[in-house]
Amino acid sequence: MKFPYTEKVLEHFKNPRNVGKMENPDGKGLEGSPACGDMVAVYLQVNPETQVIEDIKFESYGCASNIATASIITELAKGKTIDEAKNITWQQATEELGGLPPVKAHCSVLAVEGLRASIRDYEEKHGLVSEKEVTTPDVVRSRLKHVMNPMAGLDIIRTELVTKIDVNDGIVRILLDLPSNHQFAAAIKEDILEKVESLWDVTEVNVVFTE
């Protein structure tokens, strides 16, 4: 049989590790939304002395790559401190799975974000975070590193799809080197909006295509 996934992806998809809800988690992250597609929930149990993640669980409303990445992420994060776990990247997870089709990158990055969100939640609940950061083009740029270019399987910053970012009074303007009728234009735009609109001081996001 021919599948677009590696044996390891299929294995994690069929038998995902650490699945389920956690009662009274120390940290909880929910990324994605049913309106846009995939969704991942990550639950943490952290040792307050050592900051080590002692237990981790996930739930997924997503495709095979999403489920498999979430599964591998929980394995990677378990036993690590929250600072170590924060640095687990999407690339690491993908490598661990033996690779993913480029077009599926955006489904798998969600799992990494779910983990980071759960750590942020833990930190906020335990007074470990500083004040809210004001949104600058650099902040937007770092958010856009989580938007995948389905043609390359890498993010849209690294693949130089983003040509300009303006932030003005809560209004963010993002210029893309992509025509509006491109096969992936709608999907990329939706992804950008999802990532940037959630910043606390952003009121409007405009994505501008070439034509």
* Interface residue list for other proteins (CB under 8 A): 1, 3, 10, 13-14, 16, 19-21, 30, 34-41, 58-64, 66-67, 103-104, 106-107, 150, 181, 183-184, 186-187
How near is the Cβ of 95 to other proteins at its closest, in Å? 22
Q: Which is nearer to other proteins, 35 or 160 (CB)?
A: 35
Q: From the candidates 76, 107, 178, 192, which is the catalytic residue?
A: 107
Any residues with CB less than 8 A from the CB of 159 and at least 6 apart, and which? Answer: 149, 151, 152
Instruction: Provide the minimum distance between the beta carbon of 129 and other proteins in the complex, in angstroms, as a whole number.
Output: 24
Q: Which one is catalytic: 4, 14, 33, 36?
A: 36
Q: Cβ distance 147 to 155 under 8 Å?
A: yes
Mention every residue, 6+ apart, whose C-beta is less than 8 A from residue 75. 17, 18
Rounded Cα distance, 194 and 95, in Å: 26
Nearer to other proteins, 100 or 167 (CB): 100
Judged by beta carbon, residue 26 or residue 38, the one nearer other proteins is 38
- Which DSSP string corresponds to 56-108? EEEEEES-HHHHHHHHHHHHHHTTSBHHHHHT--HHHHHHHTT---GGGHHHH
- Paired strand residues for 46: 53
Is residue 63 part of the annotated active site? The answer reads: no
Instruction: Confirm whether 36 is a catalytic residue.
Output: yes
Give whichever of 96 and 190 is closer to other proteins, judged by the CB atom.
Answer: 190
Shortest distance, CB of residue 199 to other proteins, whole angstroms?
22
Question: Counting Cβ atoms within 10 Å, is residue 159 exposed (0-12), middle (13-18) or buried (19+)?
Answer: middle
Smallest gap from residue 123 Cβ to other proteins (A): 21
Active site residues: 36, 107
